[in-house]
A and B are shown apart, each in its own frame.
Chain A
Amino acid sequence: MAAEGIRAGFPSPAQDYMNPFIDLNKELVPHPTATFYGRVVGDSMIDAGVEEGDVLVIDKSIEAKEGDMAVCFIDGEFTLKFLSFSEPDGPVPVKSSGKVRKSYDILSHKELWLSPANDKYPAIKVTEANDFTVWGVVTYIIKKVSRK
Chain B
Amino acid sequence: MGSRDLHNKESVEKIIYMYALADCNNFFVSCERAFQPNLEGVPVVVLSNNDGCIVARSNESKAMGIKMGTPFFQLKNLVDNGLLVVRSSNYSLYGDLSRRIMSILADAAPKLEIYSIDEAFMVMDGMDVEAIKAVSHEQVHKIRQWVGVPVSIGIASSKTLAKVANHFAKKHPGYKGVCAIDSEDKIAKALALTKIGDVWGIGWRSAPKLEAVGVLTALDFVRRPREWVNSRMGIQGVRTWEELQGSDRVEHENDEKRKSICTSRSFADMITDPDELMLRVSDFAAICAKKLRSEGTVAGTVGLFIQTNRFREDLSQYESGTTIRLDVPSNSTQEIVSSALRIFRTVFKQGYKYKRAGVIVTDIVDADAVQGVLFDYDESLRERENVISCIMDKVNTADKNFLRLATQRPGHYSEGIRSQYKSRLYSTEWDELIEVR
Interface residues of A (CB under 8 A from B): 1, 5-6, 31-34, 36-42, 44, 55-56, 60-61, 71, 73, 76-80, 95-99, 131, 133, 135
Q: List 7 tightest A-B contacts by C-beta distance, closest first.
A: A97-B145, A34-B146, A33-B100, A38-B436, A73-B37, A78-B436, A39-B433
Contacts of B141 in A (CB 8 A): 97-98
Contact A96 B145 (CB under 8 A): yes
Q: A38-B433, A78-B435 are in contact. Are A1 and B319 (CB under 8 A)?
A: yes
Are B434 and A78 within 8 A (Cβ)?
A: yes
A56-B436, A97-B145 known; 9 new pairs, CB 8 Å cut-off, are A5-B310, A37-B427, A39-B435, A42-B437, A55-B433, A60-B148, A61-B146, A73-B38, A98-B141
Q: Which residue of A lies closest to B320 (CB)?
A: A1
Confirm or deny: B144 has a beta carbon within 8 angstroms of a beta carbon on chain A.
yes
A76 to B437, CA, bound (A): 12
Q: What are the residues of chain B within 8 A of A42 when measuring CB–CB?
A: 437
For A61, what are the chain B residues with a Cβ–Cβ distance below 8 Å?
142, 145-146
Contact of B147 among A34, A79, A98 (CB under 8 A): A34
Residues of A within 8 A of B319 (CB): 1
Tell me whether B401 is interfacial, beta carbon within 8 Å: no
Select which of A44, A76, A80 is within 8 A of B38 by beta carbon.
A76
B305 within 8 A of A: yes
Residue of A36, A44, A61 ringed by the most chain B CB atoms within 10 A: A36
Q: Which residue of A lies closest to B432 (CB)?
A: A39
CB neighbours (8 Å) of A31 from chain B are: 146
Closest to A132 in B: B37
A36 and B434 form a contact (CB under 8 A): yes
Chain B, residue nearest A4 (CB): B310
Give residues of chain B (131-154) contacting chain A, Cβ–Cβ below 8 Å: 141-142, 144-148, 150
> How many whole Å from B406's CB to the nearest CB in chain A?
32
Known A6-B311, A131-B38: A78·B437 in contact at CB below 8 Å:
yes
Kindly state whether residue B266 has any CB partner on chain A within 8 Å.
no
Which residues between 63 and 89 of chain B lie within 8 Å of chain A, taking CB atoms?
A: none
Q: In the bound complex, what is the Cα–Cα distance between A111 and B104 (angstroms)?
A: 34
Interface residues in B270-313 by Cβ distance below 8 A to A read: 305, 307, 310-311, 313
Nearest CB of A to B347, in Å: 12
Give chain A residues whose Cβ lies under 8 Å from the Cβ of B313.
5
B103 on the A face (CB < 8 A)? yes
Interchain CB contact under 8 A, B436 and A36: no
16 contacts between A and B (CB under 8 A): A1-B321, A5-B310, A32-B100, A33-B147, A34-B100, A36-B426, A37-B427, A37-B430, A38-B433, A60-B147, A73-B37, A78-B436, A96-B145, A97-B144, A98-B144, A131-B37
**In the complex, are the beta carbons of A41 and B437 less than 8 A apart?**
yes
CB distance from B178 to the nearest CB of A (A): 14
Residues of A within 8 A of B311 (CB): 5-6
Q: Given A33-B100, A76-B38, A131-B38, A44–B145 Cβ distance below 8 Å?
A: no
- Are A60 and B307 in contact, with the CB atoms below 8 A? no
Give the distance to chain B from A107, nearest Cβ to Cβ, in Å.
Answer: 21
- Chain B residues 107 to 161 lying within 8 A of chain A, measured CB to CB, are 141-142, 144-148, 150
Pick the residue among A5, A38, A44, A96 that contacts B434 (CB under 8 A): A38
Whether A135 pairs with B37 at a CB distance below 8 angstroms is yes
Task: Name B149-193 residues within 8 Å CB distance of A.
Answer: 150
Q: Select from chain A the residue with minimum beta-carbon distance to B37.
A: A73
How near does chain A come to B278, taking the closest CB pair, in angstroms? 20
Residue of A nearest to B99 (CB): A33
B83 CB, nearest partner CB in chain A, Å: 18
A129 CB to closest chain B CB (Å) equals 15
A133 touches B145 (CB 8 A): no
Q: A33-B147, A36-B426 are in contact. Are A1 and B435 (CB under 8 A)?
A: no
Instruction: Collect the chain B residues with CB atoms within 8 Å of residue A34's CB.
Output: 100, 145-147
Residues of A within 8 A of B144 (CB): 97-98
Residue of A nearest to B102 (CB): A33
Set of chain A residues within 8 Å of B100, measured between Cβ atoms: 32-34
Q: Are B434 and A39 in contact (CB under 8 A)?
A: yes
